[in-house]
Each structure stands twice: as structure tokens, then as C-alpha cells.
Amino acid sequence: MEHVSEKRFPLNAKDYKLYEEVGEGVSASVYRALCIPLNEIVAIKVLDLEKCNNDLDGIRREVQTMSLIDHPNLLRAHCSFTAGHNLWVVMPYMAGGSCLHIMKSAFPEGFEEPVIATLLREVLKALVYLHDHGHIHRDVKAGNILIDSNGAVKLADFGVSACMFDTGDRQRSRNTFVGTPCWMAPEVMQQLHGYDFKADIWSFGITALELAHGHAPFSKYPPMKVLLMTLQNAPPGLDYERDKRFSKSFKELVATCLVKDPKKRPSSDKLLKHHFFKHARPVEYLARTILEGLAPLGDRFRTLKAKEADLLVQNKALYEDKDQLSQKEYIRGISAWNFNLEDLKSQAALIPDDGTPNAEEPDIDKKQKDRSDDGRVPADGLSSVSANHPDVASRLDKEDGFNNIQDLESSLPSFPSKPLQALKGCFDVGEEDVTNTSPRDLDTDSGRSNETSGPSGSLPQNAIAQQKKFLSGSLLPDTFPSSKKVIDGDRDYLQTKYSSERNHSGPLSYRQKRDNTNHPLVDDASEGAIVQRKGRFKVTSADISPMGQANCAYGPVSVAPASPPNQNPVAAAILPSLQCILQQNSFQREELIKLIKYAEQSYGKNAESADAVESLQAPPVTSRERDLYFQVVQLQQSLGTLVEELQRQKMKNHQLEKQLSSMASKLEK
């Protein structure tokens, strides 16, 4: 294992010389820089703290994690300090940049298999370390896999990572809707039972596909559609026709990771032993194959930015087309998604309804058909995937996704209720939005907050100004002021509706990064009634608490097919309530069936169980039934809590054992 550098990096901005910009995320700009006293090239991530008042806890945790980790495949911070109202995070310079940028510059169709195997093995080693130490990364994707000039691979960006050993509020952050939609595991979207390390394994599988094709599955679709497709479709995978160039073992690896049931996914440890990694080479191979001939990172970054600006100009007339926006944001390696539910529906409606497979995903329909046909796929092990999704077959001959608002509405009964509740409860689906903002307004406004302008390489004025306050040591203090409550102790994106608010305060502006005043083009695009924009999006478990559902009736409800909201304002007004009732109903029924099954196991009343389950087709009618139901719910809740506590203790134990054995082995030496 790489040892922590003994070098002392200065905690003073004057000791660094900033060169060109080499990357930017939603929250920060990254510069190549020289550490003058050490004469060493470094990368410095500059975050404007004034724009992220509400998210200081999140930043502190990111920096803490970056400073404490110690693994050659994880990007570690050398140090961090404040300079004026900026936070500078000094880290090793990864001259190759991110895999996403490398693909966008030189490998638009994705990498060859040995390259992928080598990259994935290194990433997996990082995940093994993180998981062993109780961390979930929660944002594994090609944009966060960095390569240095020697081909060394490091997983970066701990902005949304979580610790499994957290308790209380922080523990609740694992019930948080966080990540980037295309890479997000279904259980993270679903919010039913929280999630664990296995969420990273799903993202790892999606990243494998991303590296193979040059883009993640569903990357062209707007976020609502990504959610629906991830939850309702068969998991994506390598296609037998299109992906002939890839080995059976690669296809198996992907299929193993992309299983919807997290319990059926392997641990990172186990995955590392997969025979696919026999294709992996020493990392120098990466330097020879994918880095050779590439322009310096700063130039590539500038070119990509220019391309992006072109795309923006070209598509100005087509601003409403969210596909273009998703693509552009994807090219930048970030996801500034818009999560107003009404807008999401509008976005989904913009996907052509012509049945033509998506240009980015030409094989989605076909793939699903392939994967539904067990007879055609067993050789490569994907039949098991279909087998994991018995609901898939019934959908296979339908078009994937939801191509218009009516489709979305009518899909509700089969759509897992929680995600949509999450969206409804948290993405600004307020009366105001519905009444004041037409779908067209929303379209015009959304998703464009991160357009860039201004010459690349120019340093932000505020990056070097006002170097007043410095922290000693690499961590921000725990008492770092946070002006607003941060739910879950994690990044919390409170909802803002108007650009003026969004640009000057709140975590949104943090993830959004750029002050729009520097970017007139962006300003133009984002004037007016703005809907929610986010980087990685996040909905806390608190947000999706049943509070908002209190008014929902629990009885069976039949709902007439919904009309598009703009055609029938009355229907539009009552539609959310109807959806809510309908979701509640189906959700409650599912929960009851689960509870009965549970009770059946606990009390061994096998003979009566079938009747009991059938009787659940109707809601509990007598007060006795209701009492029993509530007792069972309470029992299950306390059992769940106990099991969680036990798991936490087990993990702590495991951790302690590891520490003990490593101490013991050190002592032996």
C-alpha cells in the first residue's frame, strides 16, 4: 500500500501558483498548480464557500474523507485551507484527467476490454478499501475515475459518500436519495429499506457499461425517464449482437453487478476475484494505450468546453429539448438535473413517441427483448437477470419508458410508489409551479444552469483574492459554521424556486457552482420562474416521510385515465391527490402482503397463509383486523431496528477485529 506522503504541503495560497483550469464539477473548479516550496505539480480544487452556505457540513465531510483515506486507488487530499471565501483542496495532479473526459476526447465508442478490465480492477480495489472501512462512495462513475501520467487510477469525489458506522441523523443519510441518476441503484431510488455497499456495486456495473460504450445506459434520457426505466425495465447489460467484441466473462461481470436485488449482488471483495479481471494488465498499459497522443489535460478540457459551448449555440433554438441538455451535461461529466416533477413529466413527454430506438441506446428495446428470451441468452449468464425480474417479460413487447404525459400518469399503478412520492414530496411540485409555470416555461428554464462561458484557463478573481483566513491542518473544523440546518448531516439540497434565490444562497448554488453573473448566456437561459436544478440530486428520508401522505385515503380507488394537465385544469389539480391515493393503496397492499408473509414465517401458520394473503386484496375492515395490523407493523418496525442495530454492531466488530489483527501483525514484525 502506498504510504502517506511525509511531505508537508503549505497551508497558504501564496505558496501555490495556479495554472490552467483542468476540470469543473457542479461545485468547484479544479486547476493545475505548482506547490512552490516543494516544487511539485498538484491539482487544486477551489470551492466558493459563499455560494455553499448550506452545505458546509457536506464539504467538511468530503474534505475529511479525502484527507483520511489511505489507498493508492483513492484520491487523497494533501491538505486544505481557506483563502478568502474559497476553500482550496490540494491533491495529487492526475494528468490524464477523468475516464469520461478521455472517452469524450479520444474514445467516444468506449475502451477496449483489457483497458476496461484494468480500470475496473483498480476501481474495485478502491471500493474494497472503502467498504472495508465502512464507506459507501455513492457516486462511482467514469467522471470520477482519474488517471495520472503513469496510468495510475484513482477514484475521486467523496462529495456524497456516506459512512456505514454513522448513527442517528447521519445514519439516516443512507436512506437518502443521492447520486447521479444513470448510475443510481434501484434501491437508492426506491427508498424502501435504505441501502448499503451494494449500491456501489450497481454503480460499478453501470460504469463498466459506460466504459464499454462511451456513455452510461439511459444517459440520453431525462431524469424522470431514467428513474422509471431503472425501476421498471430489466437491468441494462451488454448486448449479444452489439457487444460481440466483449468476452463472455465481461458480460457475466456486468450481469452480476446489475441485479436489482442488492442482496444478490456480490461484495466488492468477491467481485475482485471474478475471472474477468484476468484480462487486466499492469497500469502502465493504460498510459501506453489510452493516454499516449492525448493533448495536455488543460487543452482537452478547453476543447471540450468549446464543444459544449457550440452545442449550446446550435441547440439554442431547441432549448426545450432536454435530451440535448442531458447530453451536454453528461459530456461535462456532471449532471445538472431538473427535478420539478411537472417538468420531469414534460421532459419525459419530449422523448419522441415514434418508437424509434434512441440514438444513444439503439438497442434498448431489442436488448430487452433479447433478455426476455431466456432461450437466447443463457450461455452468457444473463438469463438469470431476467429471472430476477419476472415482471420484465410482461413489459418486453411494450416500448421502453414513457413517452408522454399520459403514459406517465397511466404508469402510476405499476410504478413503485415510493420514488414518485419522493419526487412529489421533494421536487417542488407546488401549486405555484402548476399554476404559474407552464410546461413550456419549465422547459425553457431548466437544466441550463451550468453552461459555461468565459475563456478556459482564466482564473476566478475570487480564487486568489482575500487570502485572510487559514485553517491549520487539513480538515475544516467540526464547528465550521453552517447557516442552515443540514438534514442527515449530509449534503442537503433545499428547494429553491427562483433563480435569484438559487444563485445567491443555498446548496443548489453550491452544486451549481458558477455564479451566473459571470455568464450572461446562462443568465439569459435561466431567467424567469426557475425550477429546481441540482447536481447530483438528493432527497432525504425526512423529505419522503409519510407526513405528506397523511391526507391520503387507504381504500381501493379507481382512477379514470388522466388527461394532460394543460388540457384540463381541474383534472390537473386533482391528479396529484388521485395519484397519491392510488400509490398509497398499492403500496399499503404490498406492505400488508409482506407483513402477512412475515407473520406466517414467525408463527408458522402456514395453512392459513394463502387465505390471509388473498384476503389482503381488500383493506382491513374490522377494528380487530386493524388492531392486528398495527401490532404486526409495530413488531416489524422494532425487528427492523434491532436487525439494523445488530448489523451496525457486527460491522463495528469486524472493523475492530481488522484493526486488531493489523496491529498484531505490526507488533509481530
Ligand X SMILES: Nc1ncnc2c1ncn2[C@@H]1O[C@H](COP(=O)(O)OP(=O)(O)OP(=O)(O)O)[C@@H](O)[C@H]1O
Active site residues: 139
Stretch 142-181: interaction string toward ligand X, x if CB under 6 A? -xx-x---------xx-x----------------------
* 22 vs 544, beta carbon nearer ligand X: 22
Shortest CB 4 distance to ligand X, Å: 16
Residue 257, C-alpha cell as written in the block: 453487478
SS3 assignment, position 43: strand
* 158 vs 629, beta carbon nearer ligand X: 158
Residue 25 lies near ligand X (rule: CB under 6 A):
yes
Stretch 54-93: interaction string toward ligand X, x if CB under 6 A? ---------------------x---------------xxx
Residue 536's H or E segment, with its range, is: none
Shortest CB 537 distance to ligand X, Å: 11
Residue 243 lies near ligand X (rule: CB under 6 A):
no
Cα 141 to Cα 163: distance, rounded to the nearest angstrom: 19
Residue 514 lies near ligand X (rule: CB under 6 A):
no
**Interface residue with ligand X, options 59, 94, 130, 227 (CB under 6 A):** 94
Task: Return the residues of window 198-227 that contact ligand X according to CB under 6 A.
Answer: none
Stretch 101-120: interaction string toward ligand X, x if CB under 6 A? x-------------------
141 and 157 Cβ atoms separated by less than 8 Å: no
Cα 508 to Cα 515: distance, rounded to the nearest angstrom: 11
Residue 43 lies near ligand X (rule: CB under 6 A):
yes
* 240 vs 339, beta carbon nearer ligand X: 339
φ, ψ (nearest 5 deg) of residue 603 = -105, 0
Count of beta carbons in the 10 Å neighbourhood of residue 221: 26
Task: Return the residues of window 368-407 that contact ligand X according to CB under 6 A.
Answer: none
* 33 vs 351, beta carbon nearer ligand X: 33
What count of Cα atoms within 13 Å lies in the side-chain half-sphere of residue 368? Answer: 25
What's the distance, Cα to Cα, between the start and end of the chain in Å?
17
Count of beta carbons in the 10 Å neighbourhood of residue 288: 11
* 62 vs 252, beta carbon nearer ligand X: 62
406 and 493 Cβ atoms separated by less than 8 Å: no
* 11 vs 100, beta carbon nearer ligand X: 100
Cα 169 to Cα 190: distance, rounded to the nearest angstrom: 20
Residue 333 lies near ligand X (rule: CB under 6 A):
yes
By C-alpha distance, which of 232, 591, 589 is closest to 415?
A: 232
Shortest CB 265 distance to ligand X, Å: 23
SS3 assignment, position 518: helix
Q: How many residues sit in the footprint of ligand X (CB under 6 A)?
A: 27
DSSP 8-class letter at 29: E
> Is residue 17 part of an annotated ligand binding site?
no
Shortest CB 103 distance to ligand X, Å: 12
**Cα dist. 598→90, 294, 621, 643 in Å?**
52, 58, 21, 14
**Interface residue with ligand X, options 13, 16, 18, 24 (CB under 6 A):** 24
Residue 238, C-alpha cell as written in the block: 451488454
Which amino acid belongs to residue 8?
R
Residue 26 lies near ligand X (rule: CB under 6 A):
yes
Residue 334 lies near ligand X (rule: CB under 6 A):
yes
Residue 460, C-alpha cell as written in the block: 476566478
Collect all residues with Cβ–Cβ distance below 8 Å to 667 and sequence separation of at least 6: none
Show binding-site residues for ATP: 45
Q: Per the annotation, where are the binding residues?
A: 45
Task: Give the footprint of ligand X on this chain (CB under 6 A).
Answer: 22-28, 30, 43, 45, 75, 91-94, 97-98, 101, 143-144, 146, 156-157, 159, 333-334, 535
